[in-house]
Chains A and B, each alone.
Chain A
Amino acid sequence: MSSRSVLSTLFALALFAPDSVAAEPAGVSFTTEVVPTLTKLGCNTGGCHGKAEGQNGFKLSLFGFEPQDDYEYIAKEARGRRVFAAAPAQSLLLLKATGSVPHGGGKRLDTQSDAYELLKRWVVEGARSSPANAPSLERIEVQPGSKLLQRGEKLQASVVAHFRDGSKRDVTRLAVLEAGPADLLAVDANGAVSAKQQSGSATLTARYMDAVAVARITIPFGTPVTKLPPAKTVADELVFKQLKELGLPPSELCDDATFLRRATIDICGRLPTKEEAEAFAKENGADKYEKLIDRLLASPDYADYFANKWSALLRNRRNAPNEDAKPNVAFHAWIRDGLKDNKPFDAFVRELLTATGPVDDNPRAVWYRELKDSANLAEDVAQLFLGQRVACAKCHHHPHDRWTQGDYWSLAAAFARTDVQLATALKKGDPKKNIPDTPGQPLTVALKSGTATMPHPRTNAKLFPAGLDGKPFALSDDADPREKLAEWVTATDNPYFARTLVNRYWKHFFSRGLVDPEDDMSATNPASNPELLDALAKRFVADKYDTKKLIRLICTSNVYRLSSTPNDHNANDKQHFARFYPRRLNAEVLLDAIDAVALAKTPFRGVPAGTRAVQLPDNQSDSYFLSVFGRPDGASACECERNSDANLAQALLLMNSEELLAKIGAPPPAPKTDPKAKPNPNAGPKAAPGERLTKLLADKRPHAEKLRDLYLVALSREPMKDELAILVGHIEKKGDDRAAYADILWALLNTKEFLFNH
């Protein structure tokens, strides 16, 4: 038996036989004190001794999750030089950690510290290991739990470890403590917590051995909330409730033009038309907002826009423009049609997870093609539909969550029989030798025969398909384990599924998830408003996973109608939705919006003429514009792949590119470069000139009327008096309508009001 499997067996004993425990010898415990101390000092992180190959010959298990291995490394290896009982202070472990001898990691430990005393005492006591059947850790708790702190207030937190033999002890000094966000809350190594001068919700996290615990710390703003818009939905009720508790007054409701533009962009991924803007301004009736949301959700633009979102998340991509686009177009259409028909989200996921057959009948095979193996599939399922990033547990215990390698590979086992057969090309035969052509095979998702199982990478034990709750699926011999997986994922009592989707959609509309990042819903990353998350999830389940109903609930809430203009109290709020958080139009929406204003058409390769950017089926329509504005490449299941950051290349593009200047219809710039210079073979298709400028010049109405129309198209509102004065003044001063209107188009497209959904 290898030492590794011996250790694993011992470990298994510790896990499964909690009753047969042996008391630790008196003195310092290796498992519950020494290893956590090394963890706290940072010795066993992945960048230092915790990495697979160790550091300069000294290896530790990553984050101390394998204390039995660590004992070998520390006490037995290196001919015992690391611990030296005869002269404990000369132990290499201490000399290195205190920087007394050169140490790549620098000085980690002070000789005056308690941690130093503890490690030294352990050596003095004979550097004993802990018995394998010592009481194992059940859980830890942070005291006090969730708590209100005033700005600047201090607090001593403690961490208590509960062992399976019923014993408990204070491990504050052994636990790794973290507080965040950094501008709200800080904690030192001994558990002294201090609230900073900013208000909001913060978390205090403790980690000890393989357990984590979190306390939510609320630092109230303390302004009486006297004026609230009426609560129309459960979202209103619970957001406003929290704002009252926090003393954080929300902004006013925004004006109708802003709301129309906001909702049309968020639901349909486009600007409202001039006609829509005019009609909405005139529309009366208290239910005009509900009616607007219903209209938007019923329009095909909704399906286009959300298909754009899901297509990237489901990796609908090609690696090169010359790859066959048919499967991608079909997969995109499957996504879009599902959204158009408002297919319940559980059905959508079930169809995806159980997809079988050749790509012609089963365009979802594209997702399988991109993910290829069961581990990747499991990771994407967890991230997309369960809000869990399990990837760490592929190779070791998840460092900040509960997932074990067993959890990971049991989930992956659900795909163990999935056989992704890539497309093959036609093989030419030889008619002379009577060898016929071998036809190519299409991309196919098939099911292998046999029992679905995965080996545990450490123990080699057979792992059978199971959900993240660890309960193996009941499988008959020929059942497709993916059916059971889909059943478990979409079950109404799955604690992750509904919450993940409602959180993801909440973020779509509010820029920030209730849990953020939206696909990291682990214990250590609690929701900013847990009650709201629960309520939305419950409603989503009760509504039979109806995504349109969910969007309707969110968008008809008065929270979604709050102005982005801060009041005296909420400018710094980025967590509690006391105002609308503006965000730049995303790449595709912005390009379409510019085209709508300039009356231009951006040509894309390989798609029907007139296809707008949000309608593109996959990532392979080459566009410098989309790339620079951060369109995702469909290469991960993370929404973070879409990059909404501003950068200089964007500013240059909008202010000074041939592409934009052509769209606004300005005369082509004089060639400044060498006329003989060869065109860049990588340049995208040329942008067609926009027609807006010509139309404006041909329009014989007064400037003020033409400008009014232009404003309705670009900003969904009429220009203010001051704006008209500036613009008409500019036209008159310039004395050249063509140049003046080109200037106006240029300026309008570069205003923050245009570039942002606000």
Chain B
Amino acid sequence: MFSVFGSGRTRTCAGLSRRELLRVGSLSLGGLSLPGLLATKAQAANPTTAFRDKAVVMLFLVGGPPQIETFDPKENVPDNIKSCTGEVQTALAGVKFGGTFPKMGARADRLAVVRSFGSTDGGHNQLPVITGRSPMKSPMAAIVARALGAMNPKTGVPTNTVIVPEAIKPDLKLNNPTGPFQLDYAVKNYLPAGGVGRAYDGFMPSGSDTLMKNLQLQMAQADFDDRQSLLGKLDGLKRTLDKTGEVAGIDAFQRQAAEVLAKGIADAFDLSKEDPKTVAKYDTGHLFNMDDYHKGGKNYNNLVNQSRATNLLGKQMLLARRLVERGAGFVTVLDGCWDFHADGNNPSCPVGMSFLGPQLDHAVAAFLDDLKDRGLEDKVLLIITGEMGRSPAKGKNGGTGHHADITPLVLAGGGLKMGQVIGKSDKTGAKPVTKAYKPEHLLATVLHTMFDASAVRTNSALLPAEVANLVNAGQPISELF
């Protein structure tokens, strides 16, 4: 049983003694910690460790995806509110999805659809959902990294990674849309770790953040070898220092750093290492020609904000699977652009859904099947959401406005209760009529999936104090547990 007294002398605050730090292991602080390196195996079997060996993939539909055309279509409503893509019956009796989601619908028994979720912000501000409105203004992914360490101790794979289309095609030259759809905006919003400390910054394979840079050797390998050998000789002469346990850890990290630098973590990000059959299952490239929707393409029509919409989502999801399989803790996949104003910069709802909908359907279905095949279904929690939903009524041109009160939210796997619809929106999909779930509930859901909340509640020293506080104070979406 979990001890009332914690273990030994550690109490509510994370005032950890050295011993506790050693025991708590890689769940302790600051990137990858010593014990994580020395005792990963031992602590996997340690029952007092709070980490439940789970991972999260958050598929973020940038722009404000419509709730009605995705997972909450309405019937017996005026035509301008009805799903402009029709409906499909799902595997769950009486539950329909928007017309472009037959594959997800067929797998609805493996999904939990939350129809009473609202992002709280109707202005393209992605931070409320990304951060789960955490008091330290840290993305959920960074909070997870704070608890697990910035990198997986065994594989060197970053805990917190953000996958943009450029991660699949580094030579991709997308035009720059406006405001919140720019790559810069993503870099500014998804990567900085906020209050938990920059050691936990997100890692964007195509970006240029400090950790990513430090992971690529900044000098000739021969010079690096020279320096290491010199360091080895100098340290070797002062071996007495090594006799104290306090100092020994540094060696391990220096060795690990050298290894990571030498072998790179490139493999994890390299889809050419993947079985072509698997790649083909995920691939969404055949669903539409993205050039048609970019500048100069036949479907472009000056819709600037489509510039970052790509047909690469399938492969992005495959990359996410590679990463969680190699020990990533929280992978964010960004897909754009779901802003359907029909205003010259943005497509209408029918146009946007016509190419983004089937791609989402296909990529998610492939991901779900793959996880199931690999026995990762319960290990990985998939979250599909965006920064807001859309106003239910479509205008004359099929455009819709921003809408904060209802935001699409679908979850899958993670060992949570699937095959259900949670909550209900009103007749037109404008407001929740059951308990309104908010980003903080999503954050708590993530944390209670990743960590053993009961263990943390009785021994908050199992996690860094700020994470333990969030676990303890958090109210997850109760129907999932």
Contact = CB atoms under 8 A, between A and B. Distances in A.
Contact of A565 (B7, B11, B151, B243): B243
B457 A51 contact: yes
B195 A42 contact: no
B279 interface: no
Contacts of B246: 511, 564, 581-583, 756
Query: Counting chain B CB atoms within 10 Å of each CB, which of A176, A564, A747, A755 scores highest?
Result: A747
B113 interface: no
A635 B195 contact: yes
Contacts of A720: 237
A752 B247 contact: yes
A177 to B, nearest CB: 10
Query: Counting chain A CB atoms within 10 Å of each CB, which of B12, B151, B207 scores highest?
Result: B12
Contact of A756 (B13, B18, B241, B454): B241
A739 interface: yes
A680 interface: yes
A519 interface: yes
B79 interface: no
Contacts of B93: none
Contacts of B207: 680
Contact of A47 (B12, B217, B457): B457
B247 A46 contact: no
Contact of A42 (B2, B30, B31, B197): B2
Contact of A655 (B136, B187, B254): B254
Interface stretch (A238-246, A494-502, A609-617, A636-644): A636-644
B372 interface: no
Nearest to B472: A46
Contact of A657 (B218, B238, B247, B249): B218
A180 interface: yes
A602 to B, nearest CB: 14
B227 interface: yes
Given A180-B8, A207-B4, A566 B243 contact: yes
B61 interface: no
B11 A400 contact: yes
B233 interface: yes
Interface string A664-691: 0010010011100111111100000000
B14 interface: yes
B215 interface: yes
Interface string B188-232: 100110010111010000011111011111110001101100110
Interface in B6-61: 7-19, 21, 23, 28-34
Given A636-B13, A726-B230, A726-B234, A650 B30 contact: yes
Interface residues on B, range: 35 or more
A750 interface: yes
A751 B425 CA distance: 61
A399 interface: yes
A646 B34 contact: yes
Given A571-B245, A758-B241, 18 more contacts: A45-B2, A108-B1, A180-B7, A207-B5, A518-B15, A520-B13, A628-B31, A638-B14, A647-B29, A647-B149, A649-B211, A656-B214, A656-B224, A657-B218, A658-B213, A672-B216, A679-B208, A730-B230
15 contacts: A45-B454, A519-B15, A520-B9, A520-B11, A645-B33, A646-B249, A647-B32, A649-B32, A649-B199, A652-B215, A656-B219, A658-B213, A680-B209, A726-B234, A752-B242
A491 interface: no
Interface in A164-195: 176, 178, 180-183
Given A41-B1, A47-B455, A656-B257, A525 B30 contact: no
A574 B20 CA distance: 12
Contacts of B136: 635
A744 to B, nearest CB: 7
Nearest to B34: A646
Contacts of A655: 224, 227, 254, 257-258, 261
A108 B395 CA distance: 61
A610 B219 CA distance: 29
B244 interface: yes
Nearest to A39: B4
A117 to B, nearest CB: 20
A753 B244 CA distance: 12
A47 B458 contact: yes
B292 interface: no
B91 interface: no
B253 A651 contact: yes
Contacts of A709: none
Contact of B30 (A181, A516, A643): A643
B234 to A, nearest CB: 5
A118 interface: no
B77 interface: no
A584 B250 CA distance: 9
Nearest to B191: A682
A748 interface: yes
B256 interface: yes
A633 interface: yes
A472 B456 CA distance: 36
A747 B14 contact: no
A42 B1 contact: yes
Interface residues of A, number: 106
Given A517-B17, A646-B249, A681-B187, A750 B214 contact: no
Contacts of A628: 30-31, 197-199
A650 B240 contact: no
B11 A389 contact: yes
B230 A657 contact: no
Question: 9 nearest interchain CB pairs?
Answer: A47-B454, A517-B15, A647-B31, A42-B1, A180-B8, A627-B198, A651-B257, A649-B31, A651-B253
B244 A648 contact: no
B465 interface: yes
Nearest to B17: A516
Given A640-B465, A647-B149, A753-B238, A182 B8 contact: yes
A748 B453 contact: no
Nearest to B230: A747
Contacts of B426: none
Contacts of B283: none
Contacts of A391: 12
A256 interface: no
A319 B250 CA distance: 32
Contacts of A376: none
Contacts of A182: 7-8, 23
A366 B234 CA distance: 47
A430 interface: no
Nearest to B1: A42
B11 A574 contact: no
A557 interface: no
Nearest to B173: A676
Contact of B29 (A574, A645, A661, A722): A645
Contacts of A42: 1-2
Interface string B368-380: 0000000000000
Query: Counting chain A CB atoms within 10 Å of each CB, which of B1, B32, B33, B261 scores highest?
Result: B1
A720 B201 CA distance: 41
A747 B234 CA distance: 8
A101 to B, nearest CB: 20
Interface in A110-132: none
Interface in B114-160: 136-137, 149-151, 156
A178 B8 CA distance: 8
Given A582-B246, A673-B208, A524 B17 contact: no
A524 B261 CA distance: 47
A635 B138 CA distance: 14
B447 to A, nearest CB: 14
B184 interface: yes
Contacts of B199: 627-628, 647, 649
A391 to B, nearest CB: 6
Contacts of B17: 512, 516-517
B3 interface: yes
